[in-house]
Structure 1
């Protein structure tokens, strides 16, 4: 695909080259699966770990938005003709290995939001320039929420490091989680 392809609608996608259609489908499927799986294994369980009603409220917001991202990517996929079962965990494509991390503490969740959601912003920023406009528009719609999730991690990290104990617990969480991060960006051949 050497020449630039611009696809403004889902209908126009049908006329795009197969390689382009496959690449777009792969992106949509990946986002649909990983937004859902992340909400299930990190965001929703973290509500129980949140130490205050305020923290629980904001964690609920994060979970709600991540579930919403799944719904929106899945809707786009369905409009593209992708079978629903391909856009949920267990439908053939595995979630990212970053989700294999066993969340056990509030500090781990804060570290995940601080670090992994910054990585998510980098991935969504790439989609902001996508030549498939429906995907580009979806990225533009979800980006403010992704920025909120990273800010959530930054804000709660700042709270934790105010005390020596909080700083030590957050550092331990970062140390535990950090080895999982490089794979979030994909394998060398992905």
Structure 2
């Protein structure tokens, strides 16, 4: 595990992916929790196909907001690319092979740029290249929702939008 703070989530993720020496990489928020089977099951599924990007099946939020939802599986749930015009069906937490992660860098998303939601943009870019987002059965991410200091909330409040994506060309 490596920690970095470059002031931008996209730049931080790109840096860490660039120095990784493993077969698989994952993006995680340090203040969240996961079911004990998450990493092993995600790596197992990611190893099954070099196109797979694996996400926890269930998200449960705690802290400021208390909600839960199921993240869709692009194959089983037949997620069409048009869905990404309205919403981001997968959060930033993922596991995939290192080559795929290096192939598709994250977009920098400084709040003042007007661009945001680096995970939404990355999901659109990966789908445009034929990558497949999978939901890992029986895995959970427990996501902390902050009262203050949420980058997602800053993007929402600032009217940010995702950057241009090949998905919609």
Structure with a larger share of its residues in helix: 1
* Structure having the larger proportion of residues in strand: 2
Structure of greater relative contact order (alpha carbons < 8 Å, 6+ residues apart): 2
For normalisation by structure 2, the TM-score amounts to: 0.30
